[in-house]
């Protein structure tokens, strides 16, 4: 039987053919071990932004800006607020935003998300959660309370390399597996949302607010 990994590798290798100008950045970040979204997730984010043209996007977990760039390139008028606590990534992220010509569309906040989220004005149209997995449940609460009607919540890594589905043999010193196991149940049960977990990347939660 074909495994999830084989399918994922196939799709992600196909997407290399797109050659949309971000490949060099993706390859560089992958080689350096930056934990960025896979190509299929990056493309999905770009497609959602292209379709929805959100005015306000919040991203929790910038790293050095790959997913923010993928979204920002599809925006006509909107703005992205992106949060990451890593001071050592700050300059590189700004440099990457400039390189792709999206620096005017992105506000980079260098802080722990839990310290700044409540100080942001709400009214987001899209919230992408991609930071510490133990914080996901709180980030989801924030997202639910700060999303516009028909707003979208996307959360990455819900499979955690498959360990959430088949935990045997995985080391889990930080207890991420139980956190994500609970998070996934909470995510799909959100009241007032159409929810789904997509088998792309490392498992992608996708929720659309009904009203
Ligand atoms: C998976 S990476 C984000 C990748 C990025 N979305 C991309 O695809 O280009 C997760 C990031 O979350 C950040 N992070 C972890 N815990 C955080 C927290 N409590 N507040 C803010 N950022 C956090 C890490 O520093 C890391 O850069």
User: For residue range 16-60, what is the model confidence (pLDDT) as tens digits?
Assistant: 898 888 988 998 999 999 999 999 999 999 999 999 999 999 999
Q: Which domain holds residue 89?
A: 4-209
Please give the pLDDT value at position 5.
86
- Tell me if 188 sits within 8 A of 204, measured CB to CB: no
Distance of alpha carbon 36 from alpha carbon 203, whole angstroms: 14
Residue nearest to atom 18 of ligand 1 (CA): 112
> Which residues, at least 6 apart from 48, have a Cβ–Cβ distance to it below 8 Å?
126, 152, 154
Q: How many domains does the chain have?
A: 1
- 96 close to 66: Cβ distance less than 8 angstroms: yes
Output the domain CATH number for residue 47.
3.40.50.150
Confidence (pLDDT) at 44: 98
Return the pLDDT at 148: 98
Decide: residue 11, CB within 10 A, 0-12 exposed, 13-18 middle, 19+ buried: middle
Q: How far is the CA of 199 from the centre of ligand 1 (A)?
A: 21
Pocket of ligand 1 (CB under 6 A): 35-37, 61-63, 66-67, 83-86, 112-114, 130-132, 135
Which stretches of the chain drop beneath a pLDDT of 50? none
């Amino acid at each position: 039987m074909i495994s999830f990994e084989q399918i994922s590798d196939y799709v992600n290798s196909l997407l290399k053919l797109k050659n949309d100008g971000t490949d060099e950045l993706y390859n560089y970040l992958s080689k350096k071990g930056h934990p960025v979204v896979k190509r299929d997730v990056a493309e999905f984010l770009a497609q959602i932004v292209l379709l929805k043209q959100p005015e306000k996007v919040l991203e929790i977990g910038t790293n050095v800006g790959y997913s923010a760039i993928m979204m920002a390139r599809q925006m006509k008028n909107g703005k992205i607020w992106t949060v990451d606590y890593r001071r050592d990534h700050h300059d590189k992220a700004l440099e990457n935003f400039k390189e792709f010509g999206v620096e005017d569309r992105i506000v980079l906040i260098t802080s722990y998300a839990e310290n700044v989220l409540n100080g942001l004005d709400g009214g987001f149209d899209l919230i992408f959660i991609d930071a510490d997995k133990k914080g996901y449940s709180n980030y989801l609460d924030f997202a639910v309370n700060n999303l516009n009607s028909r707003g979208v919540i996307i959360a990455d890594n819900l499979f955690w390399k498959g360990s959430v589905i088949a935990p045997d043999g995985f080391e889990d010193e930080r207890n991420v597996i139980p956190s994500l196991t609970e998070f996934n149940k909470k995510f799909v049960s959100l009241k007032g949302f159409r929810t789904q977990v997509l088998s792309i990347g490392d498992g992608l939660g996708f929720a659309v607010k009904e009203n």
